[in-house]
Structure 1
Amino acid sequence: MEPWNDTGLSEFFLLGFLEDPALQPVIFGLFLSMYLVTVAGNLLIILAILSDPHLHTPMYFFLSNLSLVDVCFTSTTVPKMLVNIEIQSRAISYTGCITQMYFYLVFAGLDNFLLAVMAYDRFVAICHPLHYMVIMNPRLCVQLVLVSWVISVLHALLHSLMVLQLTFCTDLEIHHFFCELKQVTHTACSDTFPNELILYFASVLLGGGPLAGILYSYSKIISSICAISSAQGKHKAFSTCASHLSVISLFYCTGLGVYFSSAVTQNRHSTAMASVMYTVVTPMLNPFIYSLRNTEIKRALKRSFEGKPQVCQLS
């Protein structure tokens, strides 16, 4: 393969789900439907939280940020794929590919950190209920979200700058429906060992760190719940974190599924299908999980649709 030094003129070709022309209308309709449901569902969660003063608490502050990130996360990949299917094109510009990869990394990282922050919030609420409002004060909540943003942005910037140093070849085919970091790196002609090394350490540090925090938080939560004497108290304590635990399980199970599918099998189509669960299905299901299992969210949504004024009752 010839090196392509003039990257300003090059294009990548996304081969994800465009192999069979007969299936393209079905894929277009399916992904468009999932995207619209994702955007509508997460925006409804944000609207319900903003419109109901009863939900102006740390837990729902983090949930509204998670919903916003999920909308942005899906919007980095699905619209471009829909446009490519509609215009019968597989091309994405070099600049567009790097930009898509950067924002994908930012929002994937934010999802990861926000879930860890929400686990810490549940840990404080259940293990230290008397000091909850003191510990989880508005300043700390904003700081936790800002730190998550800063780390995610710097992490994505590091990988993007490393990719910009690579020399690419005339074979610029990416067997995915978006510019995934590992796949983009593998199209390069130059040495990619530094990129893969940084990717490995970043995955262990920034992926394993939040996961370890989540596991520690829930180990303490489970211990505290087991120490509660009444069955009603146990059920109430568990119900406050059931939705979050479901979202965590969905997020990490699909993420690990993508990782193991790419490591175990060489079938690129299977890897792309597994990535759909991680990048599209998970953000789409999150609003349903929180709304179906959370009576406060359902109540706020009902009030919003009925147009009833939100009044805080002083106890």
Structure 2
Amino acid sequence: MIFDNVLKCVGNTPCLALKLGKNLIHAKAEFMNPSGSVKDRVAARIIDLAINDGSLRPGMCIAEASSGNMGISLAMAGAACGYDVTIYMCETASVERRNIMRMLGANVILTPAHQSVGGAVEALRVDAASDPNLFLVNQFGNKENILAHYNGTGKEIWEDTGGNIDCFINGIGSGGTMMGVGTYLRERNPDIRLIAVEPKGAASLLGHKPKLHSIEGIGDGFLPDIVKPEYIDAIQEISDAQAIEYARKLARDKGIFIGMSAGANLAAAEIVMNEHPDWRIATILPDRAERYFSTQLFAGQPNIVSKGRTAA
């Protein structure tokens, strides 16, 4: 197929059958979206709708608060459609994420680490109050975030698995993936369980206060408006070490290069499978590992050995 815009390449990602222990888990390879993450689905839908309904007009600037992936997806969408993009993000976000956004032409504004993503949201709110030229994406409150996954990811997972699924597991960032996929699956089978993955000690669904952790993309320190806790059957807390272990394991054992939130999803999936070995489980691999080179994911890796030439 031939497309005239990169946003038309979003979605219809492969579903991988991964063996964890004795069981298989179906993992949606969202890292194969054009900018490398599941957030491409949301950015493509929101920007396309906004252009068509006139709320995003020529000369306006797309603005969003993000832990990184949504910012990258919006930077891609802005470049593809001819709009400036400004992303507000916590200074703990990886350097690679910032650089990818800048490479795509976006302006990046960093907010203090101790404020987590909530600080970025507040900084954007303050600036938007005096700048009518900003188009606010509002992923944490925009129902189009849910619909992007209801109409796309959820439908695809149901078709990929032939509806043969008992449980969907995914991390809670903006919450759009869990709400959209979960709603679609539950409409077709009300018995499907929905299990949320959150960073250990920083689970908003459990009422924890914001806390620094290394699993970028989830555990943003607040409960987004679009998340309905009553939809979720259980919460699985995962430590930084567990997320890193599973991301590395998938790279070394399967050749699949994923980020830490994907590692957290897989760690949670194996825990759930051990408790319920008869369940058929689906999850998401949200992004690629390239945006984590400067993080703990790559710390302590074996050194590269260079062998010099022997003199003749």
Question: How would you bin the TM-score normalised by the shorter chain?
Answer: under 0.3
**Larger helix fraction of residues:** 1
TM-score normalised by L of structure 1: 0.25
Q: Over alpha carbons, which structure has the higher Rg?
A: 1
**Larger strand fraction of residues:** 2
Query: Quick one: higher RCO (CA 8 Å, sep 6+), 1 or 2?
Result: 1
